[in-house]
Amino acid sequence: MPLKTAKRGAIPPFIVMDVMAAASAREATGKDVLHMEVGQPGTPAPSGAREAARAALDNDRIGYTLALGIPPLRERLSRHYKDMYGLDVASQRMVVTTGSSGAFVVSFLSVFDSGDRVALADPGYPAYRNILKSLGIEVVGIPVGPETNFQPTPGALANIEGDLDGLIIASPSNPTGTMIARDEMIALVDYCKERSIRLISDEIYHGITYEKPACSVLEFSDDAIIINSFSKYFSMTGWRLGWMVVPESLLRSVECLSQNLFISPPTLSQLAGVAAFDCGEELDALVANYKRNRDLLLEMLPKAGFDKLSQAEGAFYLYADVAHMTNDSQEFCRRCLAETGVAITPGIDFDPERGNRTVRFSFAGPYEEMAEAAKRLIDWKR
């Protein structure tokens, strides 16, 4: 009789990781790959962060830290909210995590029980859905499209049958790069407050915006959970460092969960993270490059037939409707990689119901690679 396996592990894969594996296999054969599949800056961590890490290694300061993070980083995060949003938020509410992924796990466990119902936009970041499912939480997808800028609205929430225990939002979002305007954000916050819906705001792409800055839910609510990361704006994906801003009432439960699940965030990354905040000029130059990439692709991709694109107001993604090209986005992306060397992500990763007709482009890489990728895609569809 076979040994039992847990049902919680029977969740869908994070397909972008499978695409990365396929791209790596192609590279191992000596063929080139232009990476537009993964949401990863094509640049190293900022120089100040790297220097701080080297100094920490030389001084052998790499041991456990407090579960909620080192005080200097928590204090620097508090100052960040004052500098960026004009908010006075106590450092005690700052929780340093093992990447934003650690923050998702801890936040979901701290406020949702098995059987609770949590809504999120489809298309949306797949790990929300898959982590929630592994915890026995019911995921309520909200189909969104260009008519609402691919973002949930109070009207869409009102159409959901039954009560909700939570709502997860992201602005700018992955995979569409769209944002929630200030008045629409206030309406969502008010809707959740009136119905005792726990709001979790993914603000990982704050800092990477093009025409206007993103507003934080923290400007309108002290009851929401805010999640952010050093991976995107700070270009520190592999350092696995993120943070949460949590209500004071949740601090102890978040601390106990963090102690038991992760012990503490990576020490070296925390020390580097403190220094990363002093590298604004260097980091803003990266954002300028992302904008240059976006503008290039908005001009070039329609020439390859990708003429139905999301508004990339922030982040570094374009989400394309390819229903006129395929009804199988996974096979489409497989052929694209095999025939052009351009790796892109199937929309089925972000939208289980309609993603067979969409794909995502990441434009976080070097400008020259984005230009070459666009040229190959144009040649491919001729």
On the question of a common fold for 7-44+280-380 and 48-276, the answer reads: yes
- Distance (Å, whole) CA 67 – CA 281: 31
- Distance (Å, whole) CA 217 – CA 221: 6
- The phi, psi pair for 30, rounded to 5°, reads 95, 0
- List the chain domain ranges: 7-44+280-380, 48-276
Q: What is the DSSP letter of 175?
A: T
Residue 218 pLDDT > 70, yes or no? yes
Mean pLDDT, the chain, rounded, equals 95
pLDDT tens readout for residues 66-93 = 999 999 999 999 999 999 999 999 999 9
- Predicted confidence band at 232 (pLDDT cuts at 50, 70, 90)? very high
pLDDT tens readout for residues 28-54 = 999 999 999 988 898 999 999 999 999
pLDDT tens readout for residues 236-278 = 999 999 999 999 999 999 999 999 999 999 999 999 999 999 9
pLDDT tens readout for residues 93-125 = 999 999 999 999 999 999 999 999 999 999 999
- DSSP class per residue in 279-318: -HHHHHHHHHHHHHHHHHHHHHGGGGT---B---SBTTEE
Cβ proximity of 192 and 212 under 8 Å: no
- Predicted confidence band at 61 (pLDDT cuts at 50, 70, 90)? confident
- List the one residue out of 338, 362, 339 whose CA is nearest residue 349: 362
- Distance (Å, whole) CA 17 – CA 13: 8
- DSSP class per residue in 210-245: SSSPPPPGGGT-SSSEEEEESSSTT--GGG--EEEE
Q: pLDDT at position 69, please?
A: 98
Residues of the chain with pLDDT > 70, as a percent, come to: 100
Q: pLDDT at position 15, please?
A: 85
Q: Which CATH number fits domain 48-276: 3.40.50.300, 3.40.50.720, 3.40.640.10, 3.50.50.60?
A: 3.40.640.10
* Torsion sign (Cα): 29, 293, 83, 226: negative
Q: pLDDT at position 181, please?
A: 96
* Average pLDDT over every residue of 141-151: 97
CATH class of 7-44+280-380: alpha beta
Q: pLDDT at position 382, please?
A: 63
Q: What is the DSSP letter of 98?
A: S
- Predicted confidence band at 215 (pLDDT cuts at 50, 70, 90)? very high
